[in-house]
Amino acid sequence: MDQSPYRRRSSPIRTSTGGSKSVNFSELVPMKYLSSGTMNLTRTFTTCLILCSVLVVFSMIFNHHPSDSNRIMGFAEARVLDGGGFSNVTKIELNDSDKLLGGLLASGFDEGSCLSRYQSVLYRKPSPYKPSPYLISKLRNYELLHKRCGPGTESYKEALKKLDQDHIDDNGECKYVVWVSFSGLGNRILSLASVFLYALLTDRVLLVDRGKDMDELFCEPFPGMSWLLPLDFSMTDQFDGLNQKSSRCYGGMVKNQAIDTEKTLSYLYLHLVHDYGDHDKMFFCEGDQNVIGKVPWLIVKTDNYFVPSLWLIPGVDDELNKLFPEKATVFHHLGRYLFHPTNQVWGLVTRYYEAYLAHADEKIGIQVRVFDVGAGPFQHVMDQISSCTQKEKLLPEVDTLVERSRQVRTPKHKAVLVTSLSSGYSENLKSMYWEYPTSTGEIIGVHQPSQEGYQQTEKKMHNGKALAEMYLLSLTDNLVTSAWSTFGYVAQGLGGLKPWILYKPENRTAPDPACGRAMSMEPCFHAPPFYDCKAKTGIDTGKLVPHVRHCEDMSWGLKLV
């Protein structure tokens, strides 16, 4: 079976003498009448045939089209890390700047324990967005703080003792923010990046609740010290029950006027989930941050990418401007810094990439997330995908009149990577491009790694495949995503891609236009506050500063542009 979706079989060639009858040499020269001279002539003729065959083979090897050579050489460069064991393979040397993403990553890790950390640069184009020197310095300083205050250190042990107290007299050397594992994988990735940025801004140590599988999905991002919350942390068994009614929920305490500014609490719970109320949203006010900032332990539960609203806090915005002069690069940099797939997940990524995507001239990602109730695929969604990809010239139209189809000597190969819980959309695309030629002569291969049927948030292998697919989408050249989907947000941010967004259909009708280009690669904050902390009144927070606007796919959401 031919495993390559692009391999083109040679067309059979007929040899004709002017009629339809085939030529049979045995009929022309019967063997029993051959003389010795004839036999010599036959041997000479056979030898010539063999020599001609050899010459044809050499001609095919050394005179293949240059574009094929470029693809083969490019594939080798994208795969070979070390030529050890293969005497004819040249070792590819990457300088530290390449491997460390321009200084974003720290050196000193055991490369074998997390292959994706330094290999990912080989699978995608260099990012045009460079981390600022201030961000790089801030990250290196954070790593020192994390090593000094992380789990098992004396500072950590001292801080743990304070959790049993209602109030404390001394803050101690180290303060912490604990991220609680909550919601689907896309939401977890975005919310964790948000909490890490908050830790970076407030000089806190980030500790990660591993939940069901965080330690099996991601490598440790900080050198010399784990980011995982120890299993014996005293409050872990309370995480699932934390909500707005919890006694230490900051929003509830503000609502009940239970905050004593003269005393410092040992810990606070911050409820920043999508269903949070107005008092919970006071987290984004400067005055409330002064109170929260004194508390040594913060426990945070959120499913939001709340970064855009951090830019609206006076004082915090100045620091953010220094960290991210290019404002719409926050998740792009923090995502590539924090989230390195474990070797098991990285294997899913690289094996699929090398099998189906590496040889293509162009890679198109299509991420389909349908919120309609019922079993798909839905025709209106398929119509929307076709309309978007063809009108935006991402994929060619097909020519149903096959005899008029355009023949191209060296056709361009496009690999289409589809991710969806349903296999129907990729099957429809695959059938269309198999049954009919393209109007441009391009060859289209359609691939879908998995089709799980429905979201299975708590299943480890499901999440491993989901992470692999997010990463594969981030390796494409052009990306189409679905409105409201955090899955797509992660892919576009990691890849530094401004996607075409498939607008959310209404009443099971494909919208017109089907899609639109995103303003930036930043994710959307789905549940932002609409409150002026100084005036203590409602306000449209999407119109306060030019770099925080409403999202294309969710009119009330906020995003950085």
Per-residue pLDDT tens over the stretch 242-262: 999 999 999 999 999 999 988
**Other CB atoms closer than 10 Å to residue 438's CB: what's the count?**
21
Distance separating alpha carbons of residues 176 and 429, to the nearest angstrom:
49
Say if strands 443-447 and 267-272 run parallel, antiparallel, or are unpaired.
unpaired
Over residues 323-333, mean pLDDT: 98
Q: For residues 327 and 74, which has the higher predicted lDDT (pLDDT)?
A: 327
Q: First-to-last CA distance in the chain? A: 48
Per-residue confidence (pLDDT) for residue 486, from 0 to 100? 98
Express each pLDDT in 86-122 by its tens digit: 222 233 456 667 899 999 999 999 999 999 999 999 9
Tell me the C-alpha distance between 74 and 202, whole Å: 44
Alpha-carbon distance 320 to 262, whole Å?
A: 30
Average pLDDT over every residue of 49-56: 53
Q: Which range is least confidently modeled, 403-407, 474-478, 496-500?
A: 403-407
CB 560 within 8 A of CB 547: yes
User: Would you call the peptide bond into 511 cis, given omega within 30 degrees of 0 as the criterion?
Assistant: no
Q: What is the DSSP letter of 82?
A: -
- Residues 295-325 have pLDDT tens digits of 999 999 999 999 999 999 999 999 999 999 9
> Region 138-154: what's the mean pLDDT?
98
Residue with tokens 């606007």: 549
Q: Which residue has the higher pLDDT, 15 or 437?
A: 437
Q: Give the CB-side neighbour count of residue 560, counting CA atoms within 13 A.
A: 25
Is residue 228 very low, low, confident or very high in pLDDT (cuts 50, 70, 90)?
very high
Are the C-beta atoms of residues 358 and 75 closer than 8 Å to each other? yes
Q: Tell me whether residue 195 is exposed, middle or buried, using C-beta atoms within 10 angstroms of its C-beta: 0 to 12, 13 to 18, 19 or more.
A: buried
pLDDT over 50 (residue 417): yes
Cα 280 to Cα 30, 317, 357, 490, distances in angstroms: 99, 21, 45, 26
Gap between the Cα atoms of 367 and 482, Å rounded: 6
Residue 12 has pLDDT above 50, yes or no: no
Q: Nearest 5°: phi and psi at 447?
A: -140, 145
CB 514 within 8 A of CB 502: yes
What's the confidence (pLDDT) of residue 456?
A: 67
Q: Find the Cα–Cα–Cα–Cα dihedral 175, 180, 184, 189, rounded to 10°.
A: 10
Q: Residue 55 has what pLDDT?
A: 52
The torsion angles phi and psi of 221, rounded to 5 degrees, stand at: -90, -20
The token duo for 175 is 């303060």
Residues 6 or more apart whose CB falls under 8 angstroms from that of 383 comprise: 510, 514
Q: Which among 376, 368, 386 has a CA at the least distance from the CA of 482?
A: 368
| pLDDT above 90 coverage of the chain, percent | 75
CB 452 within 8 A of CB 465: yes
Predicted confidence band at 5 (pLDDT cuts at 50, 70, 90)?
very low
> Is pLDDT above 60 for 19?
no
Question: What pLDDT score was predicted for residue 52?
Answer: 54
Instruction: Give the single-character DSSP code of 26.
Output: H
Residue 329 pLDDT class (50, 70, 90 cuts): very high
> What is the DSSP code (8-state) at residue 240?
G
Tokens of 473: 């989408």
Greater confidence, 411 or 93? 411
